[in-house]
Structure formats: C-alpha cells, structure tokens
Chain A
Amino acid sequence: MDLKGIFEIIKSIDGVDLDLESNFISVSPASLLELADKLKNDRDLEFDFLMCITAIDNGDSKSFTIVYNFYSNKHSHSCEVRAQLALEEEIPSLSDIWKAADWHEREAYDMMGVLFNGHPDLKRILLPQDWEGYPLRKDYKVADYYHGVPIPKDKSYWE
C-alpha cells in the first residue's frame, strides 16, 4: 500500500497531515499515541516493526523533529511519521506499543535532550550518567576536562 492509501485509513485522527513531496505523514505530539495504536493494530496496516527513531535539530537548537520509520512484514509496506517539537516540550513514548522504542528513545534523549513522557527508565545510554549537555545539538560546546582528563580540541596539543 502506498502512502496515500495509508493516509486514507488514518486521516480521521486530528493533527495528522500528509506531505507527498517528501513522503511522510506529519503528526502533532498530542495525537501520536492514537496514531501509533492505529498503525500497529489496524488490519490493513499492521506495522509490526518500528525500525528507527531519529531526532533532528532544526538548525537553532530551539525546535526539533522526531522521525519514526515503520515497516510491516505482513503487507511489505513502510511509512515515515514526523512530529515537530519545541525546546523542553514532551512527546509521548511508544515503548508500550513497540519495545524497540525503549532504547531508541533513550538514545534520542541522550544525544538531543528530547523528553519522552511515559518512558519506563529515561536515562543516558551512550554517554556517562554525569555528562553535561546534549552533544548532537548544533549549539553544543565541548567541555575542556572530564574527570580530570583533558579533551584536546585541536592538534596544538601534540605539536
């Protein structure tokens, strides 16, 4: 089923919109859970795989886009859903519906500082627990020391 057909089934949920040029469905954070439920359980859609959750900084670290990629093994179709977030805004967690979201959301929180509402255990996954800052944001500044070990920023340290 192509994206138009998928959109026909879910368009009754408010806050969803179709972007045919870039091939994705946009959703507002408030209706994300309802959309996810329909994507998983509707018999014509049955998206049983949550492939990837990507958090994107829209350029100024004040607004973010969260991209979800789904795939259905039964019907062999895939779709992409995007949600726009402001700084410090929360988005519901999908870890009850797809357990794959658990670690992906922890990584999005770790790297970008996106807060997921309802996540069982939202803590850092890749960086140490006492790291400060969210590295993949565009305005991230690398610290000079971590626990007494210097972090050189250019080659003048060796030359």
Chain B
Amino acid sequence: MDLSLLERFEQDNIVVEKLDTLINWSRANSQWYFQFGLACCAIEMMAAAAPRHDLERFGAMPRASPRQSDVMIVAGTVTLKMAERVKRLYEQMSDPKYVISMGSCANSGGPYWQHGYHVLKGVDLVIPVDVYVPGCPPRPEALLQGLLELQKKVMTETPLRKQVV
C-alpha cells in the first residue's frame, strides 16, 4: 500500500483491509522484546533503548520474562554453558515468537570462532533465527534497522490460514 494504515484513516475515516493485514500490523508494531543481553552487545542494546536512539517509539518495550515477550534479542556471545539455557528460555516463549541475533558472536561465533573451545559458533545452532544484525558491536541504529526488517517480515505472514506443521 502506498500510504500507511494510519494515514489512510486520517484521509477517509473508513478503511477496508484484509484481516490478515490488520493482525500483522498490530503484531509488528508492538514487538515486546525479551532482553537477553549477554556481553558487549547488551550495552548497545541498552543504548538503543536509551533516550538518544529510542527503541520504544517503534513499539518495542523491554520485558524481563520470556512469557510476556514476542521477540528475543540474543545480544552477545553464547557459550556452551549458556546454550542449554537459551534453548530452554526460547521454549518458554509463547507463539508467535521471533529471534533477532545481534552481533557477530551470536551470528557465527564472532572473533572467537577460531580458538574458542567454549563458544557456540552462532546461536542458530540451538534456536531458529529470523533476523541477523551484523556488527561487533552493531550500532544502535543497526539494531533499529534489524527491528524494522523483522516488522517487514511479520507483515508478510498469514496468521489466519491453518498452519501445516
């Protein structure tokens, strides 16, 4: 659509749209994230939520519990000792859930790929990832773009059609 839903509401007070799109629109713009800050990327995630690069204007609020969140931002190096806990917390989130892998350590092991005997070379070895945000650490603006990519992905979903598992 050329204009966003909000602008169409302001133009003519009646908007006709598919139910799929409305559900996706409400889900995409209120992605509550589960703050899974592990290492240096957690500081940039904190900075992304801070006043300068406000993350909350996109609808993303930090939640401490996996049961109340939609998206899990894995920020930082995942070690083998932590990998089982990541999997367990991911399973505790309720559907629909998404994962943003932030930073090169979570994408593929980062600078520790060569001699890190205790580093998990990429969080996608234990949980499915939707968006990868590269950088070491990625700037807060990069995390914002990652969140916008996730919103675009959510807008293409079809929640009302029966999912074949």
| Bound CA–CA A128/B118 (angstroms) | 10
Contact A158:B108 (CB < 8 A) given known A142-B117, A149-B120, A151-B117: yes
Count of A-B contacts judged by CB separation below 8 Å? 28
Q: Is B126 located at the chain interface by the 8 A CB criterion?
A: yes
Contact with B along A134-159 (1 / 0, CB 8 A): 01000010100011011110110110
Name the distance in Å between B105's Cβ and chain A's nearest Cβ. 14
Q: Contact check, B126 vs A149: say whether CB atoms are below 8 A apart.
A: yes
**Do A157 and B117 have beta carbons less than 8 Å apart?**
no
Confirm or deny: B141 has a beta carbon within 8 angstroms of a beta carbon on chain A.
no
Do B121 and A152 touch across chains, with their CB atoms under 8 A apart?
yes
A30 at the interface (CB under 8 A from B): no
- Compute how far the CA of A146 lies from the CA of B82 in the bound complex, rounded to whole angstroms: 12
Contact yes or no, B80 A151, CB < 8 A? yes
**How long is the Cα–Cα vector from A128 to B80 in the complex, in angstroms?**
8
The answer to whether B125 touches A149, judged by C-beta atoms less than 8 angstroms apart, is yes
User: CB of B81 within 8 A of chain A?
Assistant: yes
Category for how many chain A residues contact B: 10 to 19
Q: What is the minimal beta-carbon distance from B39 to any residue of chain A, in angstroms?
A: 15
Q: Would you call A1 an interface residue if the criterion is a C-beta within 8 Å of the partner chain's C-beta atoms? A: no
Residues 98-121 of B, flagged 1 when their CB comes within 8 A of A and 0 if not, give 000000000011000110011011
- Chain A residues near B83 (CB, 8 Å)? 147, 149
| B84 in contact (CB, < 8 A) | yes
Bound CA–CA A13/B110 (angstroms): 50
List B contacts of A142 (CB < 8 A): 117
Q: Is A127 an interface residue (CB 8 A)?
A: yes
In the complex formed, the residue of A with least CB distance to B122 is: A158
Q: Which of B81, B84, B113, B125 contacts A127 (CB 8 A)?
A: B81
* Inter-chain contacts of A151 with B (CB < 8 A): 80, 117, 121
Residue of chain A at shortest CB distance from B80 = A146
Known pairs A155-B113, A158-B108; A128 contacts B121 (CB<8 A) = no
Check A150–B113 contact: CB distance below 8 A: no
Measured in the bound complex, the distance between the Cα atoms of B125 and A135 in whole Å is 23
Chain B's nearest CB lies how many Å from the CB of A86?
Answer: 25
Q: What is the CB-to-nearest-CB distance from A38 to chain B, in angstroms, rounded to a whole number? A: 39
**Residue on B with the closest CB to A140?**
B117
- Chosen A-B contacts, 17 in total, with CB atoms closer than 8 Å, are A127-B81, A127-B118, A128-B80, A135-B117, A135-B118, A140-B117, A142-B117, A147-B80, A149-B80, A149-B125, A149-B126, A151-B80, A151-B117, A152-B109, A154-B114, A155-B113, A158-B108
